[in-house]
Amino acid sequence: MKYPYQINSMEEYHEAYKNSAEKPDEFWGEVAENFLWRKKWDKVLEWNFKEPKVEWFKGAKLNITENCIDRHLETMADKPAIIWEPNNPEERTRIVTYSRLHKRVCQVAQMLLNNGVKKGDRVCIYMGMVPELAYAVLGCARIGAIHSVIFGGFSAQSIADRLEDAKAEFIITCDGAFRGGKDIPLKSIIDDALIGNKTVKKVIVYTRTRRPVSMLKGRDLWWEDEMDYALSQIEKNNVVTMPATEMDAEDPLFILYTSGSTGKPKGVVHTVGGYMVWTTYSFVNVFQYQPGQVHFCTADIGWITGHSYIVYGPLAAGATSVMFEGIPTWPDAGRFWDIVDKYKVNILYTAPTAIRSLMSYGLDPLKGNDLSSLKVLGTVGEPINEEAWHWYDEKIGKKNCPIVDTWWQTETGGVLISNLAGVTPSKPSWATLPLPGIQPVLVDERGKEVTERDENGLLKGNLCIKAPWPGILRTTYGDHERCRKNYFATYENLYFTGDGVLKDVNGNYRITGRVDDVLNVSGHRIGTAEIENAINMHASVVESAVVGFPHEIKGQGVYAFVITDKKHSEDELSKQDILETVSRIIGPIAKPDKIQFVNGLPKTRSGKIMRRILRKIAEGETENLGDTTTLLDPGIVDEIKNNKV
């Protein structure tokens, strides 16, 4: 299979870019011809950013799983769709061919129907990285149920909030999940999340770790029993038939919760048609995927990267996608390299935080592994520092593999700014050029387009996008106004990304980080307000303020300034109590790296916390803290500074 929309040269890139901007309908209509539609669209694109309303391929009918699976069966039934590497390298690998994937996804779809799941129902998926997670996601898509995958590092409370927001009626989970040396008790966390829940009717439990779990009569079901029964219904003479539900291009495909600058995560909604086209188009072009290649994206399917570049994009392109259950440093820091060697991985896509962490182990873990299969390397999730970029280039790619620095967001569905591997040039620490269909604009605080370059010839501003691409979010679940306010109201008629950016004279973009109150810790997005809310739940906390600070491995660390009621001592143990509280409320991923007890916070006379000052202190700045004269109590700044942890 060849991809007619694959860009093969710089000239083709410029041509595609120009066409996508001047004639978007024609351009995307042509790309979309390469997919399987039951009925073609009436109109390619209709939009305004005011409401916002974005509709791609309106009137078209399809099912995304027929694109990801069925259409490959004729020529690629025995080709691996998913190669699964278990947490424990001693355990058996699982190779899931396209025909096996078809069978399993049909089984899940039938199992869901048997349990009363209908098109449009929300199914929450809380599983470890097992192939069954991919089956669950695709099984939902096959019958038009809306999946909401929740990352295994979120707490019961976070799950409860998401279940309530999505009004989910069904859950698919595991007894437990293996991650490194840990066995995470997923089902028991789900049980806690369900205390007081009124909407969930059924919980389906896949057995992974075989740890004891509580199974409630009438609510909890074993995956294995349900799947066996479903198979008996859909398989006749070794042939599996389970028709896919016909969906409108603009029907929702999934909800994925992500943090913003307010305390409550938002349910980003992606729809079937546009998301499919965008993830596949970007997958094929950014990584320059060639048929037969093995693609290894190290993300968890609990995040957008896993949705788009482990499951949907690669499978719709008929690729082989590696899915890894474990972590890069267990049982040792050579795990990624073992996997690359074992499966002859051609494309490795990971996060800068993982690269920095692996760098710190030196070169020993690389010994004995043949990495010569690698053709393309990728990074995602946060800015990559030059040192990590060069290490990746030299030690992993042996200076033979283009590195794609892919900038995008949960809301964008797929990559928006990146070089195209080996086709457009890379530049260390720069995401470089926008993909066809992406029209970035740099604006200042007031929304005026930035046109003046600094002494280095750079434009500096807030990154916005002028027009929709097929993968843009359509709404935030249950609250369209929130979507408008968050993304489309800051600057008129623009989608605001929340990121700061630099642009050089050649049109390359460098993302400098968030300009809102969102932190990026190990490539994971967490709102400072969310963490503050969690800290404030602790019984003796009066108030807190959270900021980020540069962290060697994580990119950004979490620094919390905390005021307590002084009823108890402010010692190491009380810090542990606060960490435990945050773990309970959000999950272990949000735990502050540093906690400093303070007697007050720098506030303006109107009561606003001056985060700028706290940020500087957390960064280790002692001198230039800026103007502190407008503070209610300027003395507090010295006190905080002198007691920095």
- Give contact residues for ligand PRX (rule: CB under 6 A): 258, 304-305, 380-383, 405-410, 431, 497-499, 511, 513-514, 520, 525
Q: In this complex, which beta carbon is closest to ligand PRX, that of residue 205 or of residue 483?
A: 483
Instruction: Report the distance separating Cα 41 and Cα 33, nearest Å.
Output: 10
Q: What is the DSSP string of 340-358?
A: HHHHT-SEEEE-HHHHHHH
CB of 382 to ligand PRX, least distance (A): 5
Q: In this complex, which beta carbon is closest to ligand PRX, that of residue 149 or of residue 601?
A: 149
CA–CA distances in Å: residue 64 to residues 70, 118, 142, 469: 10, 17, 7, 18
Task: State the amino acid at position 481 in one-letter form.
Answer: E
Residues 391 and 358: beta-carbon distance below 8 Å: no
Instruction: Report the distance separating Cα 330 and Cα 335, nearest Å.
Output: 7
CB of 381 to ligand PRX, least distance (A): 5
Rg of the chain, C-alpha, whole Å: 24
Q: In this complex, which beta carbon is closest to ligand PRX, that of residue 107 or of residue 497?
A: 497
Nearest to 417 by CA among 399, 393, 441, 394: 441
CB of 269 to ligand PRX, least distance (A): 14
CB of 335 to ligand PRX, least distance (A): 21
Query: 536 is written with which tokens?
Result: 């404030």
Instruction: Report the distance separating Cα 270 and Cα 94, nearest Å.
Output: 30
Residues 30 and 5: beta-carbon distance below 8 Å: yes
Q: Which residue is nearest to ligand PRX (CB)?
A: 410
Instruction: Report the distance separating Cα 212 and Cα 185, nearest Å.
Output: 9
Q: In this complex, which beta carbon is closest to ligand PRX, that of residue 345 or of residue 351?
A: 351
Q: In this complex, which beta carbon is closest to ligand PRX, that of residue 380 or of residue 637?
A: 380
- β-strands 459-465, 475-476 pairing: unpaired
CB of 253 to ligand PRX, least distance (A): 17
Q: In this complex, which beta carbon is closest to ligand PRX, that of residue 100 or of residue 525?
A: 525
Query: 519 is written with which tokens?
Result: 């932190």
First vs last C-alpha separation in the chain: 57
Residue with the two structure tokens 């005021």: 563
CA–CA distances in Å: residue 198 to residues 193, 444, 503, 642: 11, 46, 50, 50
CB of 575 to ligand PRX, least distance (A): 27
Q: In this complex, which beta carbon is closest to ligand PRX, that of residue 38 or of residue 466?
A: 466
CB of 129 to ligand PRX, least distance (A): 17
Residues 504 and 460: beta-carbon distance below 8 Å: no
Instruction: Report the distance separating Cα 94 and Cα 323, nearest Å.
Output: 10
Q: In this complex, which beta carbon is closest to ligand PRX, that of residue 468 or of residue 498?
A: 498
CA–CA distances in Å: residue 69 to residues 229, 294, 298, 357: 22, 17, 22, 36
Q: In this complex, which beta carbon is closest to ligand PRX, that of residue 514 or of residue 603?
A: 514
Looking from the CA of 617 toward its CB, the CA atoms found within 13 Å total 28
CB of 176 to ligand PRX, least distance (A): 25
CB of 511 to ligand PRX, least distance (A): 4
Nearest to 347 by CA among 394, 291, 424: 291
CB of 415 to ligand PRX, least distance (A): 8
CB of 79 to ligand PRX, least distance (A): 28
Q: In this complex, which beta carbon is closest to ligand PRX, that of residue 308 or of residue 596?
A: 308
Q: In this complex, which beta carbon is closest to ligand PRX, that of residue 165 or of residue 499?
A: 499
CB of 518 to ligand PRX, least distance (A): 7
Nearest to 24 by CA among 57, 2, 52: 57
Task: State the amino acid at position 116 in one-letter form.
Answer: G
Q: In this complex, which beta carbon is closest to ligand PRX, that of residue 87 or of residue 522?
A: 522
CB of 278 to ligand PRX, least distance (A): 13
Q: Which residues contact 438 (CB under 8 A, 6 or more apart)?
A: 416, 417, 465, 469
Q: In this complex, which beta carbon is closest to ligand PRX, that of residue 425 or of residue 513?
A: 513
Phi, psi of 28 (to 5 degrees): -75, -25
Produce one character per residue of 332-345: b if its CB has 16 or more CB atoms within 10 Å, e if not.
ebbbbbbbbbebeb
